[in-house]
Structure 1
Amino acid sequence: MNLAGVGTEVVDLPPGWHFTIDCPNHGLIRFDFEPFSRGGRQELAAQFRDAVWSLRHQVQGNTLKDFVAAGVKPFWRFLDVLREGGNGVDALREIDAAVIRQFLAWLEMQTVTEGKSRGKPWSLSSKKAVYDRMKSLLLNRQKFAPELVSPALAFPKNPFPRVNIATPPREPYTDSELRRIVDAVNADLRTLDAGGPGALSSLQVLAVYLIALAIATGRNPQGLLDLRRDSVRPHPLADREILVTEKRRGYSTQVTSYSKASEEHAGSDQVTTIPLSVGSYVRAAMEYTAPLASTASARHADFIFLYRVERGVRSGETHRLDIRKFNQLAESFVFRHGLKDDRSKSMQLNLARLRPTFGTRLYERTRDVRKVQRALGHSSPQVTARHYITLPETAHRDHTFVGQADTLLARLHVMTGLRRINR
């Protein structure tokens, strides 16, 4: 840490153009702002460097890295275009509302440079992502270095009004597709019951438990990957228990209670090793990876989804399962079971689609948007209905009603308070 005094205030400064952020989830993330400091833009590069450093406790390390790779880098290309046109912007104070409008116009002209979409215009979501990253960095400077920011810096209210329409929500799996996935999970669990833990590879075992939990809870994929050994906790009621998951974005915690497995069922002839409750799934995965906890780093030992690297230069090391690794395992899972979608094509299995699948099925059973909102941990019923329920007419009607009811209740509370004051 590099501390410097500014008057009576102590300021935490980044250690030069090259610095490393130690992210709790992603480890050491290295940054290099020296290339941005060339060509007379040293002051501007320093301000964006300071913004990234300032945000390191609020934003995940990989996200900050993306702020640079997919935010600062394209903005620098835009500045190069301005310079070629004789309108160079080399200092933070020179960025005002007019420059922001020019940046938005430049984004409209960008095309994809590689892959199957090469030559096509950037999608609305891509343009918005670049813009949002730069806006976040500039807002940080407005907050922490206002004396260096132009008073004319302002941002348009909604430069991408149709982005939600252009980017449809993830489609849930159909009933028949979900049944195929569930049957495949059950088949693997029975295989483990008959053949023991060695019947499947350790990574495939983790994938099976993770898919089962995603189906049963609808939780955010990263929240499931981040499950810890104390994530299942006692509930005041004997027949229930609590599952606690964390959401990296926003650093929020979701707490939900679930029914325990029935002791009556546990003693019946119908029982297999397939867990009968969410807590049972978590405990099964926890027990499976318990031997690895002692070999993991202190930072990762408390997490459940651990695996040992079998090959390569890191052979023998214990790592945490991440979403990229899981996606590879999901492909193997689909191949082993020959899973097909309703169009008879190889199924694309990912945890993110299981979340709206859970939301849609819960809404079909309850017709209660608020209940789905609470189960998925959303801030508003509008978000739930728009992105996680595929019954647009009824869902829209219900979440609109819920929103109107909330507004009415808020007004009633205000009126009641005013009456009490008047009395």
Structure 2
Amino acid sequence: MAKTDPYAALRIKEFNIFLLVRFVLVFGWSMQFIVIEWQVYSITKDPLYLGIIGLMEIIPAFTMALFAGHIVDQKEKRNLLAKCIAAFSLISLGLFLLTWDEIVADWSTKTILYAIYAFVFFGGFLRSFFGPTIFSLVALIVPKKIYPNAATWSTSTWKAAAVLGALFGGFFIHWIGVDKTLCIIFIFVLTSLILVFQIKKKPILNPKIGEPIKESLKVGVRFVFNNKAILGALTLDMIAVLFGGAVALLSVFAQDILEVGSQGFGILNASVSLGSIFSMFMTTYLPISKNAGKKLLASIFGFGLCIIAFGLSDVFWISVLALFLSGATDGVSMVIRQTILQLKTPDNMRGRVSAVNSMFVGSSNELGAFESGVAAKIMGPVVAVVFGGTMTLITVLTIGIKNPVLRNLDLTKDIEAHENEEA
């Protein structure tokens, strides 16, 4: 195999535009999530309501995922992404108005809370389209032989935007307040909408345009469940994320346990993404294709240990370090999973396979947030986080023993095959 070029994908101009669009969009989305969590806990002081945020997003995201995947495989990807961003801008505008005192001064807390949940629900509907569209668009911008490199840079950009969004979300709440922060988020979303039109329209590679929805969905689901490498990776990550969702309780730890306020809240959130960015940039120089299955299992096991350490800590810098390492291990697992999906998914099925991925992994983030909120209500936040980390360790050990296909997975030959195909 030829020597790996860590900047291969970045040498494509349109891919750089795509990264900029994704950065600006995720930066705004990340800030918005942080601000919503802070606002909801500030007005309720009940972790259960934080869990409901996740539930409100997962319901539409999960139920619409397969249908969204079918639509993505049937439509032109650039324009579809633009429509999703435009709709998301309406959510950002609505949330800004919900926190503007001149608008909601006479509203009850319950009314404001229900309105926030309504916008989150609409956002979950949009998210079911975002994932498959972005996943499919990347594959149309870069050659197949550099899919792993493109997946690494795309995921790293997403995490870089998430860390800065989390960091600035906490700081902006402190500096200018919730309402003005949400106004800035609205501006960022509009900026991403303008940038996306710098990407050219892409061809539709699906030879079965107009295929009945029922048959299309059956084909997509069947492909995922028949591919043990994809199914094993998605199952592992889904269960690990479901029980390791400590991030949903960071506002509780920041306000009531570590007592570090909004700035500390931003740092705690940012430390997770900083760890992910560090590990993902390292994988551009140290490819993870060889023995990918074992590396995936090891990274998620390490993630579980870090979550337990965070839950047991009452010292701020130890908590930050534990979250940083949890992000680093999680970053490795994300790169491996995205590489598996890009290499083993046919072009005409990317939307549907990505939709199944979002049902397994993406939705488990919100379901994990709900699980964490309920567990914190019943057991207390510390026990809830330690319990989640322990369940993650048990999951990794079980799947590692029961799924030898995933355990012995090596992606080296897949990459070589794509290089020979395009040589």
Calculate the TM-score normalised by the size of structure 2. Answer: 0.24
Max Rg structure = 1
Higher strand fraction (1 or 2): 1
Q: Quick one: higher RCO (CA 8 Å, sep 6+), 1 or 2?
A: 2
Calculate the TM-score normalised by the size of structure 1. Answer: 0.24
